[in-house]
Amino acid sequence: MPELFIVGKGAVGLLLAERLAKAYSVTLITRSPTQTVFTQHAECTHPLAVRCLSWQELARQNIRIDLCIVPVKSYQLREAFTALKPHLSEDANVIFSHNGIQSLEPVMTELPALQGLFFLSTSMGGWKPNANTVAFTGPGLSVFGPCNSVAQQRALSLFDALIKPHLNPALLSDDIQLLRWQKLCVNLAINPLSALTGLKNGRLRAPCYAANVLGVLNEACAVANHIGVPLKLHEELHRAYQVMTLTADNVSSMAQDVKHQRRTEVDAMCGYIVELANQHGLSVPHNMKLLTRVRALHPAENKAELG
């Protein structure tokens, strides 16, 4: 079987590992040695058919990587890529998958001419009852797209081999900027509100939260349109509520971060909207309010408020 590496053992990484281990020899790259990881469906728990290597073991074995998915927190992306880069083959394919928006320009300038960079957006539902186990909570749409020119040449073949057969339903997108903004809108509608309320995704469909969802997405679409990204409010509302329905029993990653007193990704979500709005003289009070409230939950773990 072809080899596939996945950085970390977060919920998304373990869900992807379970799906892709049917056709790929999957290796999880972890910070420290890990013996076994598990997946849980209903009451049944079983080990994943993957191997785990720490970064130290990866270096010691001098392993070269041709295909790797990097499903880490947005604020961990730079560190993860720096650690991964020495192990990549000269024509490797690297797939980022994270919430919010981080600039990809610094990464793309460091990639050799033959290395492809892709982005994967997935709304599969899952949560971790413990450090080495993921519980599947609902299906979701996966969208895949190329980020650089060499990736554009390989996108269709990689989508047909890796994404389409194993992450159904799945779509191939040739507009990575639009794809990332669409994922951001879903994040904005669900994550901060779930972090503040502790509710599962499906509960956010209640009418009492409709004004909040409408407000943050209306502001996001206005900012996106201002910089030339053609988002339509009715489409983003439909997408957000669709994901809430598909992942109704899921607890969002930000809600889990708050529960476990970890740093959140609110700066790459609401913070990104606020920062762009400030640059262009726009007002985004709904996003600013959520940003301030989520940061206040664990101020030591989050950045100072944007000026």
Distance between CA atoms of residues 73 and 10, nearest Å? 9
Kindly state whether residues 145 and 238 are assigned to the same domain: no
Kindly state whether residues 121 and 68 are assigned to the same domain: yes
Kindly state whether residues 18 and 100 are assigned to the same domain: yes
Tell me which residue range forms the domain holding 19: 3-174
Domain assignment of residue 81, yes or no = yes
Domain assignment of residue 208, yes or no = yes
Give pLDDT tens digits for 89-142: 999 999 999 888 887 888 888 899 999 999 999 887 777 888 888 888 777 789
**Cβ atoms of 94 and 117 closer than 8 Å:** yes
DSSP summary character for residue 20:
H
Kindly state whether residues 123 and 259 are assigned to the same domain: no
Give pLDDT tens digits for 178-233: 989 999 999 999 999 999 999 999 999 999 999 999 999 999 999 999 999 999 99
Residue type, 182: Q
**Cβ atoms of 151 and 93 closer than 8 Å:** yes
Domain assignment of residue 101, yes or no = yes
Is the pTM higher than 0.85? The answer reads yes
Residue type, 86: P
Handedness of CA 139, 147, 231, 289 (dihedral sign): positive
Handedness of CA 180, 100, 87, 4 (dihedral sign): negative
Can you give the pLDDT at residue 139?
Answer: 73
User: For the domain that residue 290 is a member of, what is the CATH number?
Assistant: 1.10.1040.10
Kindly state whether residues 124 and 15 are assigned to the same domain: yes
Q: What's the structural domain count of the chain? A: 2
